[in-house]
């Protein structure tokens, strides 16, 4: 095989593997309790660190919580959720319009259908949402902070870091779920983890080994056609 043909073959394999990795990554809502090794955690987060950012500012701070610290935090935010004690650094109302609302409803329906929960069963829906604050049983949770005085542009950089992180988790055979709901307890999380007030919580990501066979993980969401999201202009 010629060197050029070998390169083409190698490129094809790399593209195929990347496409498979991107499509493999999805939000998992049930995990095994088994912790990930410290060596694997180092490898996962090292790869995530190569995300791009404006002027290479790297405006993100990730705090990974495991073990007893995670259990204490789970207890705290679960109790505060039931008590209605929520604190947020960034506003969020969850209200969308048009096609975005349609997609929101479709995603919720896909999850509740997988769980066997009807639209009318508000109690069961509430119980399913509550599992956010138990990290879906994951052994680890990463909280992603944006240092002051950064704003929306740097938040986009943090988003690219988060995508790198979740793809890195997938490449290591691990599953994840990004959770806006975890940002509802910014003050509590900072207090429990001794994090300065200057670090603003954007969201969290629960991760670990997928609990294969769990009804929650049977959920599948659709993606819009390419033409609905991308315009190619060449004239």
Average confidence score pLDDT of the chain:
94
pTM of the shown model: 0.93
Convert the pLDDT of each residue in 37-46 to its tens digit.
999 999 999 9
Residue 72, preceding bond cis, omega within 30 degrees?
no
- CA 154 – CA 146 distance, rounded (Å): 8
Per DSSP, the three-state class of 52 is coil
Q: What is the dihedral of CA 36, 176, 137, 33, to 10 degrees?
A: -20
Q: How far is CA 19 from the centre of its chain?
A: 19
Alpha carbon distance 166, 31 (integer Å): 15
Residue with tokens 């910014």: 186
pLDDT digit string (tens) for 63-78?
A: 999 999 999 999 999 9
**Which residues, including other chains, have CB under 8 Å from residue 134's CB and lie 6 or more apart?**
74, 78
Please, what are the domains in the chain?
27-92+135-213 (3.40.109.10)
What is the average per-residue pLDDT within 195-205?
A: 98
Q: Is the pLDDT of residue 1 over 70?
A: no
């Amino acid at each position: 095989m010629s060197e050029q043909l070998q390169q083409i073959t190698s490129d094809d394999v790399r593209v195929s593997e990347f496409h498979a990795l991107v499509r493999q990554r999805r939000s998992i809502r049930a995990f095994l309790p088994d912790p990930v090794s410290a060596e694997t955690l180092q490898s996962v987060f090292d790869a995530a660190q190569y995300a791009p950012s404006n002027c290479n500012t790297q405006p993100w701070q990730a705090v990974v919580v495991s073990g007893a610290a995670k259990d204490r935090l789970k207890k705290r935010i679960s109790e505060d959720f039931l008590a209605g004690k929520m604190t947020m650094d960034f506003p969020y109302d969850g209200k969308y319009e048009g096609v975005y609302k349609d997609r929101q409803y479709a995603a919720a329906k896909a999850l509740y259908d997988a769980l066997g929960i009807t639209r009318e069963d508000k109690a069961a829906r509430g119980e399913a949402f509550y599992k956010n604050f138990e990290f879906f049983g994951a052994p680890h949770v990463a909280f992603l902070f944006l240092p002051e005085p950064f704003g929306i542009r740097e938040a986009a950089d943090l988003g690219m870091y988060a995508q790198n992180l979740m793809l890195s988790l997938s490449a290591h055979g691990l599953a994840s779920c990004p959770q806006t709901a975890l940002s509802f307890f910014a003050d509590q999380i900072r207090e429990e983890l001794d994090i300065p007030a200057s670090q603003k919580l954007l969201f969290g990501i629960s991760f670990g080994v997928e609990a294969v066979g769990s009804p929650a993980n049977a959920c599948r969401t659709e993606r819009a056609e390419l033409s609905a999201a991308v315009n190619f202009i060449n004239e």
